[in-house]
Amino acid sequence: MEQPIEIEFLEIGSPQSDKMKKKIELTFKESSPEEIKTVFPLRTEELAEYKPIAERAASPKQISHYLLGSKITYNVNKIAWYADKVFQECCNSLAIEKPPEELVKLFRITFSHAVRKHMLFHYKVERGSRLLPEDRYWEYRVKIYERSDAQTKGVLEEALADAYAVTYVEDEIRALQSPVSVPVSKESLVAGFRKMIRAAFINDSRPPGYREAKNFLLEFENLRDANTVESIQSLLLYSAILKGVSNIDGIFRGLSWLYRELTFLEPTNLEKWPLPPAPPYPTKNFLLFVENFRSDASLFLLLLLPPTEEPFIDKEFYPKRLPVK
């Protein structure tokens, strides 16, 4: 992402870099999540957009879904600007006035990965709908996801997408290489960026729907740590402890509600927190739906090929340089 950096930073080779390296090493690793503060009230959909197959057909009932592909478009200059904003606010809360240039760029990459994971969750919802006895994704998009009050009351899918993104972006963070000019340890880099991404996407400044992501982190952490369908089944006992019945929807409550929305086209009330709905389907069907979000096995890829991904420059986005605090 080559957009101009919009915050104050230390250029590569700055004599202050070595001193700053020691501070970053300590604060990234030792700071508590509560110490890192940022405000991110923007809908993730304003940074990128998932365009489902159904949207590209004048009538999805007339044109085979398999003949068309879905797409993700990324507003790269907007992503870069908000990544800088979040990073600046997080650094300010750690008393880091001017972060090194390479760290700013690495955080941009991390932030863009989180946005991408959010969009890929939407793809997996469309893909997972084909595992249901009846694929009603088009109706679901119109009646629930795009309903008139979706932005004011929130949508379950957005909460789940943010929770999924925050959980699964950790793999991308661990793949980052520490910058040569500021050789911060890999451990400190991962710890700091992970806390910053969580601070951005899991906070009460998020829009309706998105801010409920905090309620679904545990189920995606469990899903990420489950290596096979069998290991997911082993969560049945934990689910029974949580809910008092032997249904896996107790641990995967968000995905259970999503399955219900796709089946009955009834939106979940995010202002209330009822128990997960009693599954109106065999547990094995729900397990396959859950596995769709954990795995990109060939079985699922045959249902719906991965979306094409395209960046674009938003020529109507004219941000001001972020002020130094």
DSSP labels, 118-145: HHHHHHHHHHHHTTSSS--HHHHIIIII
Residue-wise DSSP of 15-42: TTHHHHHHHHHHHHHH--GGG------S
Parallel/antiparallel/unpaired status of strands 71-75 and 48-51: antiparallel
pLDDT of residue 66: 46
Binned at pLDDT 50, 70 and 90, residue 21 comes out as: confident
Contact criterion met (CB below 8 Å) for 182 and 102 = yes
Question: What ranges make up the beta strands (E) of the chain?
Answer: 48-51, 71-75, 308-312
Among 25-34, 193-202, 206-215, 312-321, the range scoring the smallest mean pLDDT is 312-321
Which residue ranges make up each domain of the chain?
A: 17-60+74-215+296-312
Question: Mean pLDDT across the stretch 6-27?
Answer: 80
pLDDT of residue 246: 43
CA distance 236 to 241: 9
pLDDT of residue 5: 84
pLDDT of residue 50: 96
Q: Tell me: pLDDT of 61 over 70.
A: no
pLDDT of residue 195: 97
Question: Mean pLDDT across the stretch 167-175?
Answer: 95
Among 44-48, 243-247, 296-300, the range scoring the smallest mean pLDDT is 243-247
Question: Mean pLDDT across the stretch 256-283?
Answer: 77
Q: Give strand pairing partners of 310.
A: 73
| More confident call, 243 vs 120 | 120
Count of alpha carbons within 13 angstroms of residue 125, beta-carbon side: 33
Among 16-25, 45-54, 284-293, 316-325, the range scoring the smallest mean pLDDT is 316-325
Q: Tell me: pLDDT of 319 over 80.
A: no
Average pLDDT, the chain: 84
Binned at pLDDT 50, 70 and 90, residue 271 comes out as: confident
CA distance 94 to 196: 11
Phi first, then psi: what are they for 53, rounded to 5°? -60, -45
| More confident call, 108 vs 225 | 108
Q: Tell me: pLDDT of 63 over 60.
A: no
pLDDT of residue 279: 57
pLDDT of residue 53: 84
The answer for residues whose C-beta is within 8 angstroms of residue 102's C-beta and 6 or more apart is 12, 179, 180, 181, 182
Nearest CA among 283, 304, 323, 238 for reference residue 67: 304
Among 12-26, 171-185, 287-301, the range scoring the smallest mean pLDDT is 12-26
pLDDT in tens, 199-250: 999 999 999 999 999 999 988 998 888 766 666 666 655 555 555 444 555 6
pLDDT of residue 309: 95
CA distance 74 to 50: 9
CA distance 307 to 116: 11
pTM of model > 0.95: no
Question: What ranges make up the beta strands (E) of 52-186?
Answer: 71-75
pLDDT of residue 180: 74
Percent of the chain with pLDDT over 90: 49
| More confident call, 319 vs 278 | 319
pLDDT of residue 235: 62
Nearest CA among 77, 68, 88, 74 for reference residue 117: 74
